[in-house]
Chains A and B, each alone.
Chain A
Amino acid sequence: MIGAAISRRLFLAASSAFVVAGARADAPFITVASTTSTQNSGLFDHILPRFTRESGIAVRVVAVGTGAALRLARNGDADVLIVHHRASEEAFVAAGFGRQRHEVMHNDFLLVGPKDDPAGIAGEANVVQALGAIARTRAPFASRGDDSGTHRREQALWREAGVDPGEASGLWYRELGAGMGATLNLAAALGAYTLTDRGTWLGFGNRRNLVVLSEGDSRLRNTYAAILVDPERHPHVKAVAGQRFIDWLLSPAGRAAIESFEIGGKRLFHAR
């Protein structure tokens, strides 16, 4: 009897789940594949409600690394892509998966590390020199190791410094295969250096001993671009709503929303 009552209740819960799921799907929405850096910083929580108020279109953000976001978009599992690795974005468009690449905002990457700074790079404006010093002193460095935009930038900087950190993988160079926040958590716990985007850094709540050691190099510029997934390649893509979102990001209203996102009085992203 009780078994029957429980199963009846379970059934109610289950059927209500489907009803609720169905009701949610009725409102117009688009799916955006983006990076952990934009989500962890809190940017989307700040700007998306404004877009939804103006347009009536809800935006569902799936935040993964740039590599994974590109893969989702290639499979047609997102309508809009917002990532930060120019070469991959251009390849994505060239391969016919997206129509056009629109740069929407930028900020910069930072080299952060422990306050006691064993590699002695504090204030070094040349980020390549700073990385070289870390490699020479074999000071611990935490790498995203997840094929994200930040990871790809980090690898490009190592190449410029003439260092192959892969040889030291597992020694001073730690490849985590994790998002930006998880990498910062580990760097804070290990007293390791790491490369982070400014947005995640400013929104991050567990810095412990980590401080910014090198910033301002032009090679640390971090540009985010939006691309509509080509509806000719994937006919189910919500092209009109997706394009409307991109147009809004580039419009005065969207730019103002991006510019007004601050943490502790500091602006995190600059609109294009």
Chain B
Amino acid sequence: MDEVRQAFAQALALLVERDARLLEIIGLSLEVSLSAVLIAALIGLPLGALLALQRFPGRKVAIVALNVMMGLPPVVVGLVVYLLVSRAGPLGVLGLLFTPAAMIAAQVVLVVPIVASLARQVIESLWEEYRETFRSLAVPPVMALAALLWDARFALVTALLAGFGRAIAEVGAVMIVGGNIDHVTRVMTTAIALEVSKGNLSLALALGLVLIGLSLAINIAAYGAKELGEARRGG
């Protein structure tokens, strides 16, 4: 248990010193995962709304497929994205392999199913609640959708947080398509994997503690925003 004690001390020291390399790695982790969540929101929220409100052939298949994709192993997603962006792959000319852009793309694939599935559930249940009201007031569909999204905004933020949690914590996909290159594509999780493989277990654990702290801070901020919003709406 010496390692655990050492890890806590080291994590604290890293944060107090504001170690430049650590800050760089944290910065890149946030850049990659927040970008992935933003793009996934732009794809996943409309997709979830579509699945919730429209009835079309193949809808049930799409819902089941999205639920299955929530459990996709990141390493498989990484491999598929690698095959696409490798110089030998169909998107090879873009030269995206081993760049943050490729890491964002892989994380988008991981996050979209979570955002879309959760958004569909939230919007569907709200729709059940409001359908009659909208119908009796003859609200046009676009406005109805806007109203639903607005009403569901706090639940949707939770969906985005779930997606962010998946993105910031995964290592398999960013390792393959990013390559864990120092100063270029090294993020928290790949740095942790590297330190484990060097046998620097307490440093690896310290980085893990920093990562957990980071997730905690973001979740507290989101929760605070939600509470504030609800209080204001209630008042």
Between-chain CB contacts (< 8 Å), 10 pairs: A2-B225, A21-B31, A21-B101, A40-B197, A42-B198, A45-B182, A62-B98, A76-B86, A76-B92, A181-B198
Given contacts A3-B157, A18-B101, A21-B101, contact A36 B228 (CB under 8 A): no
- Decide yes or no whether A117 CB sits under 8 A from chain B: no
Contact stretch, chosen from A118-126, A199-207, A215-223, A242-250: A199-207
Cβ distance B6 to chain A, nearest Cβ, rounded Å: 11
How many of chain B's residues have a CB under 8 angstroms from any CB in A? 40
A61 and B95 alpha carbons, distance in the complex (Å): 16
Whether the Cβ atoms of B179 and A206 lie closer than 8 Å is: no
The interface bits of chain B over 29-46 (1 if a CB of A lies within 8 angstroms of the residue's CB, else 0) are 011101101110100000
The interface bits of chain B over 174-198 (1 if a CB of A lies within 8 angstroms of the residue's CB, else 0) are 0000011110100000000010111
A10 and B199 alpha carbons, distance in the complex (Å): 36
Contacts of B194 in A (CB 8 A): 39-40
* Residue of A10, A40, A61 touching B34 (CB-CB under 8 A): A10
Whether the Cβ atoms of A61 and B88 lie closer than 8 Å is: no
Contacts of A2 in B (CB 8 A): 225, 228-229
Given contacts A11-B38, A62-B181, contact A181 B197 (CB under 8 A): yes
Whether the Cβ atoms of B99 and A236 lie closer than 8 Å is: no
Cβ distance A55 to chain B, nearest Cβ, rounded Å: 17
- Decide yes or no whether B48 CB sits under 8 A from chain A: no
- Decide yes or no whether A107 CB sits under 8 A from chain B: no
Question: Can you name the residue of chain B whose Cβ is closest to the Cβ of A72?
Answer: B86
Contacts of B87 in A (CB 8 A): 75-77, 234, 236
The interface bits of chain A over 10-29 (1 if a CB of B lies within 8 angstroms of the residue's CB, else 0) are 11011011101100110000
Question: Can you name the residue of chain B whose Cβ is closest to the Cβ of A62?
Answer: B179
Cβ distance B60 to chain A, nearest Cβ, rounded Å: 30
Whether the Cβ atoms of A60 and B31 lie closer than 8 Å is: no
- Decide yes or no whether B119 CB sits under 8 A from chain A: no
Whether the Cβ atoms of B99 and A25 lie closer than 8 Å is: yes
- A residues sitting closer than 8 Å to B (CB atoms) are 1-3, 6-7, 10-11, 13-14, 16-18, 20-21, 24-25, 31, 36, 39-40, 42, 45, 60-63, 74-77, 179-182, 184-185, 203-207, 234, 236
Whether the Cβ atoms of A14 and B86 lie closer than 8 Å is: no
Contacts of B198 in A (CB 8 A): 40, 42, 181, 203-205
Contacts of B38 in A (CB 8 A): 7, 10-11, 13-14
Contacts of A180 in B (CB 8 A): 197
Whether the Cβ atoms of A76 and B179 lie closer than 8 Å is: no
Contacts of A45 in B (CB 8 A): 182
Which secondary structure dominates chain A's binding surface? Answer: helix
- Decide yes or no whether B121 CB sits under 8 A from chain A: no
Cβ distance A180 to chain B, nearest Cβ, rounded Å: 7
- Decide yes or no whether B78 CB sits under 8 A from chain A: no
Contacts of A74 in B (CB 8 A): 88
- B residues sitting closer than 8 Å to A (CB atoms) are 30-32, 34-35, 37-39, 41, 86-89, 92, 95, 97-101, 104, 153, 156-157, 179-182, 184, 194, 196-201, 222, 225, 228-229
Whether the Cβ atoms of B153 and A3 lie closer than 8 Å is: yes
Cβ distance B97 to chain A, nearest Cβ, rounded Å: 5
Whether the Cβ atoms of A17 and B100 lie closer than 8 Å is: yes
Contacts of A20 in B (CB 8 A): 31, 100
A31 and B182 alpha carbons, distance in the complex (Å): 12
Given contacts A13-B31, A17-B35, A21-B101, contact A76 B88 (CB under 8 A): yes
Question: Can you name the residue of chain A whose Cβ is closest to the Cβ of B228?
Answer: A2
Contacts of A42 in B (CB 8 A): 198
Contacts of B153 in A (CB 8 A): 3
Question: Can you name the residue of chain A whose Cβ is closest to the Cβ of B88?
Answer: A75
Question: Can you name the residue of chain A whose Cβ is closest to the Cβ of B39?
Answer: A14
Given contacts A16-B31, A236-B95, contact A60 B179 (CB under 8 A): yes
